[in-house]
Homo-oligomer: A and B are copies of this chain.
Amino acid sequence: VDLSELGEFGFIETLRGWAPNVDTGDDAAIVTLGGQTFALTTDALVEGIHFRRDWSEPLDIGWKAVSVNVSDLAASGARPCWILLALAVPPETGAEFLQGIYRGVSEACDSYGCVLVGGDTVRADEVVIAITAMGVVEGSPLRRRGAEVGDVVAVTGPLGRAATGVNLLLSGDPKWVLPEDALPCIDAHRRPIARVAEGIRLGAAGAHAAIDLSDGLASDVHRLAEACGHGVELFDIPIADEVLRIADARGWDAEAIALTGGEDFELLVTGPESVLGELIPIGRIVDDGVYIVRDDKRENLPASGFDHFSGR
């Protein structure tokens, strides 16, 4: 069995057997010590897979590396405290690139109210940026498994911008249609913003479960369903206006982008309607299955989001 066959889902399943203490069912690990609850997470970005130097400035890459980790803390309702950075770079890497990465990391830390406290820099053939983020949870942590049948499912914002940005960058067209729409989409890919305040507020307000939308709504909804042991029925896919206009001009499928594009880093949250009041409702927790309702008909929604091992 090799990884290209396993894919990320299969790999996580296999991993459970190898390292039973790793709770792969949440965005961050939840641990307690001395009466305090902490959320811990690590996510690595690899050049050519998670970022490209011809698409993103070093500053943006550093920012993004922090944001994808802090987003996992946000999905746990945690307040980010400390960041560690393990950076693998080819020896010929320019100091300017490294400085940009560090500045981007520092800017993101300032923005999220956490501190870069440690790091390691090693020589490698390609750039790998591994960040570990630690946060503190004041009340009860948000966990995927907390979702209950009947919960409203809602998101903190409309979807599809980052994937649309990637599609525009991949298309290589220097004259983007509707540049005033294109730039926010490309920025969403380059400098995603983790929903920290929302995560803390929703956790404190009594939301039942949360997951950050990193791999695409479709696959992330499957993960939530698997973790909580129930099902999800979606009745709306909230698509960002820029995405709708660009998809219309380009002949792209806006709903497919929003469903499978990934990297939105909005939070998907479940709970009573009273708690999720300001969010965008998109569905509800049901007994089992993962469905999308179109024209009053339930269709099965496959988990076909972004998968690091099967390629993009």
Residues of B within 8 A of A46 (CB): 88, 122-124
Tell which of B43, B84, B93 touches A40, judged by Cβ atoms closer than 8 Å: B84
Judged by a CB distance under 8 angstroms, whether A140 is at the interface is: no
Of A13-21, A259-267, A289-297, the one with at least 4 CB within 8 A of chain B: A13-21
Q: How far is the CB of A29 from chain B (nearest CB, A)?
A: 4
Q: Which of A42, A50, A125 has the most CB of B within 10 A?
A: A42
Residues of B within 8 A of A22 (CB): 116-119
A28 to B2, CA, bound (A): 36
Judged by a CB distance under 8 angstroms, whether A249 is at the interface is: no
A6 to B35, CA, bound (A): 44
Inter-chain contact B36/A95, CB cutoff 8 Å: no
Residues of B within 8 A of A34 (CB): 34-36, 136
Residues of B within 8 A of A95 (CB): 1-3, 6, 14
Q: Which of A15, A28, A130 has the most CB of B within 10 A?
A: A130
Judged by a CB distance under 8 angstroms, whether A115 is at the interface is: yes
Given A46-B122, A92-B3, A98-B3, A117-B23 contact (CB < 8 Å): yes
Judged by a CB distance under 8 angstroms, whether A204 is at the interface is: no
Inter-chain contact A82/B29, CB cutoff 8 Å: yes
Q: How far is the CB of A120 from chain B (nearest CB, A)?
A: 5
Inter-chain contact A29/B130, CB cutoff 8 Å: no
Tell which of B81, B109, B309 touches A33, judged by Cβ atoms closer than 8 Å: B81
Judged by a CB distance under 8 angstroms, whether A308 is at the interface is: yes
Judged by a CB distance under 8 angstroms, whether A105 is at the interface is: yes
Q: How far is the CB of A137 from chain B (nearest CB, A)?
A: 12
Judged by a CB distance under 8 angstroms, whether A270 is at the interface is: no
Inter-chain contact A3/B123, CB cutoff 8 Å: yes
Question: So how many copies of this chain end up in the complex?
Answer: 2
- In the complex, the chain B residue whose C-beta lies closest to that of A36 is B34
Inter-chain contact A43/B120, CB cutoff 8 Å: yes
Residues of B within 8 A of A134 (CB): 40, 134
Inter-chain contact A31/B309, CB cutoff 8 Å: no
Judged by a CB distance under 8 angstroms, whether A85 is at the interface is: yes
List which A284-312 residues lie within 8 A (CB) of chain B. Answer: 308-309
A94 to B134, CA, bound (A): 31
Residues of B within 8 A of A40 (CB): 82, 84, 117-118, 134
List which A76-107 residues lie within 8 A (CB) of chain B. Answer: 81-82, 84-89, 91-95, 98-99, 102-103, 105-106
Inter-chain contact B41/A118, CB cutoff 8 Å: yes
Judged by a CB distance under 8 angstroms, whether A111 is at the interface is: no
Question: What are 18 A-B residue pairs whose CB atoms fall within 8 Å in the complex?
Answer: A2-B95, A3-B92, A15-B121, A18-B106, A19-B105, A21-B115, A31-B82, A31-B115, A40-B134, A42-B118, A42-B130, A43-B86, A86-B130, A88-B128, A120-B130, A124-B126, A126-B126, A130-B130
Q: 8 smallest A-B Cβ distances: which pairs? A: A130-B130, A29-B117, A132-B132, A86-B130, A29-B118, A18-B102, A42-B84, A44-B86
